[in-house]
Amino acid sequence: MRRRFRNERRRWLRSVLTVPFYGALLGWSVVCGGGMKADAQEGELRSTFQSGESLVVLPASASTKPVARSSAAKMTILTDEITSQLRQRKLDQSLLQFQNYTGYQLNLSTGTRHVNEVTGNCRLSWYDALMRNPLTTPAESEGFTRYLFESLKNENGGLDRTMAMARSKMDVPLKTKAGIPFDRESDDPLAFVNAVLERVQQSHSESLAPLTPAELSQLNRELYPLLVSQNDVGYTLANRGRGRKICDMLEKMDRGAIHDAAEVMMPLSDKDFLERLKRIPDDTRVRVEGVSGTVVKRIDTPSGSIVIGGRGPNTYDLDAMSDVNVVIDLGGNDVYREGTVSLDRPVLITLDLDGNDSYVGSKPGIQGAAILGISMLVDLAGNDRYQAKDMAQASCLGGAGILVDHSGDDRYSGFRRVQGQAFAGIGLLLDRDGNDQYHGAMWTQGMGCTLGFGMLADMDGRDHYYTGGHFICSYADDEDNPTPGYEGWGQGVGAGLRSVASGGIGVMLDGGGDDIYEFDYLSHGGGYWLGLGFARDFGGNDQRVGATVKSFSGGRRGEPSFQRFGMGFGCHYAAGFCFDDEGNDTYNGTIMGLGHAWDASIGLLSDFSGDDQYRSNGKTTQGNGSQAGLGILFDYDGDDRYRNHSQGYASSSISYHEMPHCGGNFSFLIDHGGTDGYGSRVRNNSISRRGSNGGFLIDRFSPEVKAKPQTTSNTNTRRRTATTNTTQRNSSRR
């Protein structure tokens, strides 16, 4: 990778010499105890064998279709399979070394300390716990994404539980203030809106209280150019030194107060409450500067002004309404222009109750986004269009940005830091229904940056996601392995900034429908630079295209189609997870993806059902760990096809870390169920070593492959493969 620090790291490692291998860390019990009982007929595995050789062919008695299991039970099977195979190859001690080594590296760079480019500032404790317990991390990540989705399914109160989960993962103390009660049958909904506004204003002031006036002035002046407009690569900042100082300031903020403000707003997005607001009569008329169309009421309060638009079409020039903090529109096809949220107007809440609406603008901090402020946009019904440039559509730089769209076929289009992106705060985009389109260039669609919890959740519909297609990738001048393509950085990615700060938590959830995912480099369920990323699709026949088909502007790509790091990846002390629950899905990529871990990281791709196609066409894909990494691809049930030959391959070469201290590379492709085809030509019902001793390809519970009828006396027994769907010899190689 560009700007590597390999030589300096080697010198430092030689000075350290040893890693503290004594003492089992939390999670070692998973390695030593439990696990799947090995079949007595499998016998002892040989200690020396050729790469790709089939070690064990399971007996025909194992040829039974797996019973229906929950996703949690399937993750238990995965954990048991890994621990069992590690023991049988006598690699459990090596895995413990990998675990201890990663923890030791994290210890060296905690707090204000740093080792080379790895810094300890802004580090999350949940990230730290997951990295120190690699074998329990996959199951915990599955439970985390499932719980979030189950919470969001409730249209009344679901966001409260979601925010409580986010609070627990972001090192934010439990809230001490009770929520504002509201009786949906008797209480005045406008009085409730005013009470919420008052509390949000108060919490916002508390969030900034630890900062001096000079620091606030500097943040207000520098945040956008430093973290957004000056940058054309995703992995770091153009001005790293200044960025580190800015992150130190953001770390001083009262993030508990930010969460308080976000949580107290959540009842405003409940469907029942919005239906109550729709009953407001529109039989009066008032004039409000910045609004064209009917306005039925303006309420001025000590906390700010509330404007209520009528049921006809309105146009709101929100920046011309700088003294207004709440806009409620009762219906009509409306247009909302700009609407920046910053220290000049730190709170803006917009509630639109009906109509096909257009939200347009080019300034940062609009459409449920904020820079050091608190913003919420809720749209109850209609086919809506959200058009912005940078820092928009449920995104934040120091604060909270929330966007909830309940129904309709919607279109979201932006450039950088859009669609559920968070830096030092909360960015949450929730779309409950409709066939929606999401379009962005970089840092998009569930992107959790430093001290940020960024999430995009689309609960239903046939959706199309696109991130990338504009900025030339930072690997174009990689001294070791230059590759073409574009920056991506989206779709459930948690990432820090290299040499600046640790990463946050990025989440992308899709509930159902046949979806299309287009994404360029470092996208779709991945972690980078001490961050955590999660992507999960709960239903539908989905296409993960990999590299974007067209450029960001819609024209022909200027770069060749090439995708690097995608679909369940971890890169540089990070962890990433991609889950798919149902459907016949396709996974496309080029290199370093589909359950790939690079440099003391964890990467997992897990598909729980369906006849799936894994079509990556380059190296180090489909369950690979590299440079002391743990990479896993787990497929449960279905007749699956794996193109290419790198399945579960573990290289013996490690140049970033010293062997044996780092433990080695661990690569797993585990397929349970169905008749599968592998480009590496391994057999169904077999366990094969792939590359070094840490490479596993495990195929279980597959029916016997029947020979095709012979047409001549020289015809061999044949079977289908993942790469050509033609016939080849039933043998195993590589």
Give the 3-state secondary structure of 508-541.
Answer: EEECCCCCEEEECECECCEEECCCEEEEEECCCC
Res 114: pLDDT: 77
- Reported as a single tens digit per residue, the pLDDT across 107-143 is 999 887 778 788 899 999 999 999 999 999 999 999 9
The residue from 203, 235, 256 where one domain ends is 256
Mean pLDDT, rounded, for 694-704: 84
Domain count, the chain: 2
Residue 407 amino acid letter: S
pLDDT of residue 621: 96
Q: Residue 514, exposed/middle/buried by CB under 10 A (0-12, 13-18, 19+)? A: middle
Q: Are 208 and 234 found together in one domain?
A: yes
| Mean pLDDT score of the chain | 88
Residues 174 and 129 in one domain: no
Considering the domain architecture, whether residues 204 and 143 belong to the same structural domain is answered as no
Domain co-membership, 77 together with 172: no
Q: 113 is in which domain, residue-wise? A: 64-154+437-703
Can you tell me the distance from the alpha carbon of 55 to that of 42, in angstroms, rounded to the nearest whole number?
A: 9
pLDDT at 44: 29
Q: How many whole angstroms separate alpha carbon 361 and alpha carbon 249?
A: 29
Q: Does residue 159 share a domain with residue 149?
A: no
Same domain (yes/no): 199, 72: no
Which pLDDT tens digit goes with each residue over 10-21? Answer: 434 433 333 333
pLDDT at 506 over 50: yes
How far apart CA 399 and CA 196 sit, in angstroms, is 17
CA distances from 442 to 466, 487, 541, 574, 680 (A): 10, 7, 26, 19, 35
274-323: per-residue pLDDT in tens? 999 999 999 999 999 999 999 999 999 999 999 999 999 999 999 999 99
% residues pLDDT > 70 (the chain):
86
Between CA 383 and CA 411 the distance in angstroms is 8
Cα dihedral sign for 222, 227, 233, 237?
positive
Q: Return the pLDDT at 46.
A: 28
718 within domain boundaries: no
In this predicted model, what pLDDT tens digit does every residue of 324-352 receive, in sequence order?
999 999 999 999 999 999 999 999 999 99
Q: Is residue 100 within 8 Å of 92, Cβ to Cβ?
A: no
Domain co-membership, 173 together with 78:
no
Same domain, 517 and 611: yes
One domain, residues 584 and 684 = yes
CA angle, residues 279, 281, 284, in degrees to nearest 5: 160
467 and 573 co-located in one domain: yes
CA–CA gap between residue 448 and residue 535 (Å, rounded): 12
Q: What is the pLDDT of residues 454-467, one digit of tens each?
A: 999 999 999 999 99
Give the burial class of 13: count Cβ atoms within 10 A of its Cβ; 0-12 exposed, 13-18 middle, 19 or more buried: middle
Label residue 702 by pLDDT band (50, 70, 90).
low
Residue finishing a domain among 223, 239, 256: 256
Whether 150 and 183 share a structural domain: no
Least confident stretch, 59-73, 221-235, 711-725: 711-725
- Residue 261 within any structural domain of the chain: no
- pLDDT digit string, tens, across residues 584-640: 999 999 999 999 999 999 999 999 999 999 999 888 999 999 999 999 999 999 999
Confidence band, pLDDT 50/70/90 cuts, at residue 703: low
Mind listing the pLDDT tens digit for each residue in 513-565? 999 999 999 999 999 999 999 999 999 999 999 899 999 999 999 999 999 99
In a 13 Å sphere around the CA of 431, the CA atoms on its Cβ side amount to 34
For the CA atoms of 147, 606, 665, 44, the dihedral, rounded to the nearest 10 degrees, stands at 110
> Is the residue at 295 inside a domain?
no
Provide the whole-model pTM: 0.88
